[in-house]
Structure 1
Amino acid sequence: MDATAPRYERPPISLIESDIHPYGISLFVGGMEGASDLELLKANGVTTVINCAVNLDFNYVSDPLSPQGQPVDYGYGDIRYYKLGLIDGPGNPETMFVAGYYLLRGALDQVLPERHTYPRRERGNVLVNCRGGRSRSVALTALFLHLTLPDRYPRLEDALDHVRSQRQLRRDEWFETPKPMLVEAVRRAAGWIRMIESDRTGTAPLQAAV
């Protein structure tokens, strides 16, 4: 391999949206290289990681509570870490993107108590990742933008194209980034979430733009 060649086909993490109302945070998408680079995450103000990949895990523990010699460390990490275990293809239960949307929104809405057992209380930017940052993380991020910023992304396709462009995915790979069955799952999830939110607020369901 040429030592002067770029390490990645695209950046390890990509800024997708800045200053998201009402949270005031920026949202990034990346792959396993970016999600595992703590210096890069801290340099970009990322305090929270949402891992969408069922076949990938990270150990962010920097302040272990595990006894010496414990085979697997557990304890407090430098990153607030959430896991949504999606398959990059068929096989996911239909409701998993509904869960993913509320997991991401919950990570932003949570207010952690002022106790020593919650040492990572700072609010910062969020990285959504999967193995390559091309499919599962793109799908979840597009769903979130479409529902959270409907004036900017009235159609799901608008949000998908924005994430693809910001992630620097090549146009010739857009047909599989995200995988088609994930796009369809996200489309169904958007409809279900609108019904959930309308029932919760007592308002008429929002209609998707066509």
Structure 2
Amino acid sequence: MFTGIVTDIGEITRLAPTAQGQLHRLRIACHYDQTTIADGASIACNGICLTVVASGVESGATWFEVDAAAETLSMTTARHWARGTTLNLERALKIGDELGGHIVAGHADGIATILGRDDLPDMARFELKTTRELARFIAPKGSVTLDGVSLTVNTVQDTAFSVLIIPHTLDVTTLSSWRAGSEVNIEADLMARYAARLAEMK
């Protein structure tokens, strides 16, 4: 489990598809202490929970490796990742950690597309569109996870919705690079999903 509060920005330094093309091994450089990264640990990469299979230090910089499976590649923006791609990173939540965002599973539901960006005096406003299936879980003032960042929904209209991003979030995440046409990973709020399921069963 995660909170949607990004703790580092990593960079893909190596990407090696398998012979069958069903799995990609990624090496990601980061600023975490390598001694705290155990094989089998979960790290959210742009909102996708991936399992560490190896880690080390090279030229003074920590790296860890993860595998992105076929389903992940088909459902998320991971299929577009390449060497040099930067990723929002978050370590798995520990008991006693501060819950600053909201409960995030790290299981991206799909992709949202940036429709537009407005740079306001003290923040940026993004309008996005997602599928009708996912849009039913998005409500004004509710939570949504985009590229691993916990955000509050501002407005909703049919399958489109908007979020407001403060300067601090733009500074410490990859969201500053978002432009119209960009694709981002989206995870619906777990509580909204359960509420919708309960309503369906009435």
The alignment's TM-score, normalised by the length of structure 2, stands at 0.30
Q: When you count strand as a share of all residues, which structure comes out higher?
A: 2
Q: Which has the larger radius of gyration?
A: 1
The alignment's TM-score, normalised by the length of structure 1, stands at 0.29
Q: When you count helix as a share of all residues, which structure comes out higher?
A: 1
